[in-house]
Structure 1
Amino acid sequence: MKITKIDVMLVDVKSTDNPGWSPIVCRVYTDEGIYGDGEAAMAYGVGATGAFGIIQDLSKKVIGMNPLDNEVIWEKLYKSTFWAQNGGPVIFSGISAIDIALWDIKGKYFKMPLYQLLGGKMRNKLRCYASQLQFGWGDTKVAAASIEDYVFYAKKAVSEGYDAIKIDFFTFAPDGTRYNSETTTRLQSPKYVNMVINRLKAVREAVGSNVDIIMENHSYIDAQVAVQIGSLAKEYGILFFEEPCTPNPKMNKFVCDKLNIPIAQGERIYTRWGYAPYFENNSIQLIQPDLGNCGGITEGKKICDLAHIYDVGVQMHVCASPLSTAVALHLEAAIPNFTIHEHHVYNLHQYNKQLCVYDYQPKNGYFEVPDLPGIGNEWSDYVFKNSILVTIK
């Protein structure tokens, strides 16, 4: 079997709620009629067009190769592209998209779901949390501004069966405007510290002690502010403190040692080489690799296995299309150190749901794993009709 061509697409989701959402996806075709779909997890922030370009460049290197040789292809892309070694999100998002598509092909070829190829399911259901409630919890994106907003969305998620939620309490000001780095870095005045802690306190009181709260900060604050806020947040039983500072093993270690709160990091850490220093200095307790930018399934499994050596838990970072949701569920089901799955609020939005044939959603706070061959999801007709599409042959 050989790879014959690859479609690379920059999708226009036509969203007024989230106009910056720019999924970068691909479909890999073979001479046996089997195709596989993949995604580069750079739909948000700045850099989506970089991912769009790098997948095209990488695709030229794999045309004619056997898609079942995922390890061979991964090593070729890593060693023959110069920039992949010690590379960052753009190049590893490109490798990830192609790698995911190859695993999709492999599953279809052997008529097995992905989790079976990864060693089998260790669990039939996966606990998940309602993620990023500062953007609301419904089918439209909103700004949680008042304490009443935070309480409302937290209670709404819990009423749907979730017993874990995640919130960045320092994203929006009380007037609904978004804070910038000038506000959130360096030691904070009581005005901002009290705002964050009062929001957290209100949510904890609203949901009770049997609901886990993950406090997110998207690395917008620095290590000093993380310690300042985290020391006060401890009282409210934080499950994990996510991205409390710039992803850096030394800064992570500083925050971890000062707070004695489990630290979560990973959506901006790439490959096993990127994760190794965090494991070696015990500065991370929950890794959050994104299979759409850490190097794909081939590399993601290695990262999870390496974490297992150090008793570090795993939660895949999932802020992408329903295709990436399916991919994450397969790997999370197959590893021993799975902790919890991220169910991002964007997965409730129609502009995202329309991208795939299947829309997997949890029931009562738990996901089931797709049982179809391969990933168990694929791009919808919408993607092919509403994209800038480049075909590499």
Structure 2
Amino acid sequence: MLDAGVQRASRRPIIARIHTDEGIYGDGEAGIALGTGAPAAFGMVEDLARLIIGLDPMNTEFIFHRLLKSSFWGMGGGPIVFAGISALDIALMDIKGKALGVPVYQLLGGKCRDEMRCYASQLQFGWVDKLGPYGKTEDYVSIVEYALSQGYDCVKIDFTQFDREGKRMSTTAAEGILSRPFIDMVDERMGAIRDNCGWDFDIIVENHCRTDAISGTMIGELCDKYKVMAYEEPAMPLNPDMHKVIREKIKTPIATGERVFGTWGFYNFFKQDAVQLIQPDICNCGGLTEGKKICDMAAVFDATVQAHCAGSPISTAAALHLEAAIPNFCIHEHHYRSTQPALTVLCKYDYQPKNGKYTVPELPGLGQEMSQYAMDTALRHVCVDEFWRGL
């Protein structure tokens, strides 16, 4: 468990390093750094690691299914067990790439593109050196102008998190039939951005599942009004039916997936045409092995892909390799926290986009790994060397 310094209260990255008897090691991440759950993910990685001691790291497909089924709880899904599986799978793919001397994207089918368009994410918190949170409408305009000045042509904002004074609103504030002042606040912020920054760039509206089918539809109508590119997490992720309800009432494409796990979790969203832009987190959807299958299944249902990225630079590297290798890529998420030294110092390389575009690492494996500083300052560390056959 790594120490993210000034971000420690909200982020504790969980990194798994797997060593082989040939001296090659690989790093992977459990995507539960944000909010609560990091200690549980740490324990899950530790427990699952016992299932793969002594196995051939090149057999990633076999190992994924062993972790899924022999763990017993894996087949029930959920963020903690899938995050643990993801961390080990990514580390194994890192090993496989290093052993073969190729970047991970080659293991996924090779490149479909040389660069990935990306967006500046979560601007309600600020951007780079201009940190929020924001409440005043003019502040939203200013931070969008700042991101656009750095070469981005797409931004993402949650307009429901903070009130007009910049104070965090309760998790129930955006549920049900929204009050006129609430809707006016969101409308004013969106309108001011379009009036002052123009219409020749894209906006993704983030809701963080704070809304339900009623309020989600009300804000969705504003998304239509202001020509929003995608509308993210407008309803409870365990209920694709409500995403479908919203989808049928608005024109803006629905995006979701960071809290959906495995191909089984995404299947009902696809079947009901409840999502048009999937956002699997490679560090909690089942890793690169399962993530590639999710993206391939999305293509069958004409859904595009943007991997969720809100972890350490290892998470970013894993996402870039997958996004480079799939034909139905849409855009890459560049989270504002990923611009901060507290996270970039935790890994060996600091990959940042240029003029709103990312390139995929070309080193063997992930092309990213923990820094010595991260290991020296880790909050918790454990070594697992005991094999367990599983159930």
Counterpart in the other structure of 1:260: 251
Q: Percent identity?
A: 49
TM-score (norm. length: structure 2): 0.96
Deviation at 1:141, TM superposition (A): 4.4
Deviation at 1:13, TM superposition (A): 1.8
Counterpart in the other structure of 1:161: 151
C-alpha contact (below 8 Å) 2:307/2:319 kept by paired residues: yes
Sort the Cα spacing of 1:218 and 1:327 in 2 relative to 1 into closer, same or farther, 3 A. Answer: same
Deviation at 1:121, TM superposition (A): 0.6
Counterpart in the other structure of 1:99: 89
C-alpha contact (below 8 Å) 1:67/1:105 kept by paired residues: yes
Matched, 1:314 2:305: yes
**1:277-296 to 2 correspondences below 5 Å:** 277-296=268-287
Matched, 1:324 2:315: yes
Counterpart in the other structure of 1:186: 176
Please give the secondary structure, in 1, of the residue aligned with 2:67: helix
Please give the secondary structure, in 2, of the residue aligned with 1:85: helix
Gaps of 5+ in 2: 386-391
Give CA deviations for 1:48-76 in whole Å, capped at 9, x if unaligned. 11100000000011110111111111110
Matched, 1:20 2:14: no
Counterpart in the other structure of 1:121: 111
Gaps of 5+ in 1: 1-9
- Please point out which of 230, 242, 265 is paired with 2:220: 230
Please give the secondary structure, in 1, of the residue aligned with 2:204: strand
Give CA deviations for 1:131-161 in whole Å, capped at 9, x if unaligned. 0000001146420111111111100010000
Counterpart in the other structure of 2:122: 132
Deviation at 1:18, TM superposition (A): 5.5
C-alpha contact (below 8 Å) 1:314/1:339 kept by paired residues: yes
C-alpha contact (below 8 Å) 2:254/2:277 kept by paired residues: yes
Question: What is the CA–CA distance in structure 2 between the aligned matches of 1:141 and 1:107, rounded to whole Å?
Answer: 38
- Please point out which of 194, 205, 214 is paired with 1:204: 194
C-alpha contact (below 8 Å) 2:126/2:134 kept by paired residues: yes
Amino acid at match of 2:383: T
Question: What is the CA–CA distance in structure 2 between the aligned matches of 1:344 and 1:193, rounded to whole Å?
Answer: 26
Counterpart in the other structure of 1:5: none
C-alpha contact (below 8 Å) 1:319/1:344 kept by paired residues: yes
C-alpha contact (below 8 Å) 2:40/2:80 kept by paired residues: yes
Give CA deviations for 1:198-223 in whole Å, capped at 9, x if unaligned. 11111122221110000000001111
Matched, 1:77 2:64: no
Q: After TM superposition, which residue ranges in structure 1, 4 or more long, deviate above 3 angstroms?
A: none
RMSD of aligned alpha carbons:
1.0
Deviation at 1:40, TM superposition (A): 0.6
C-alpha contact (below 8 Å) 1:139/1:350 kept by paired residues: no
Question: What is the CA–CA distance in structure 2 between the aligned matches of 1:177 and 1:18, rounded to whole Å?
Answer: 21
Please give the secondary structure, in 2, of the residue aligned with 1:308: helix
Aligned length: 383
Please give the secondary structure, in 1, of the residue aligned with 2:144: helix
Amino acid at match of 2:148: V
Question: What is the CA–CA distance in structure 2 between the aligned matches of 1:295 and 1:204, rounded to whole Å?
Answer: 38
- Please point out which of 225, 241, 261 is paired with 2:231: 241
Give CA deviations for 1:5-33 in whole Å, capped at 9, x if unaligned. xxxxx112221x55221111110000000
Question: What is the CA–CA distance in structure 1 between the aligned matches of 2:167 and 2:116, rounded to whole Å?
Answer: 35
Matched, 1:144 2:137: no
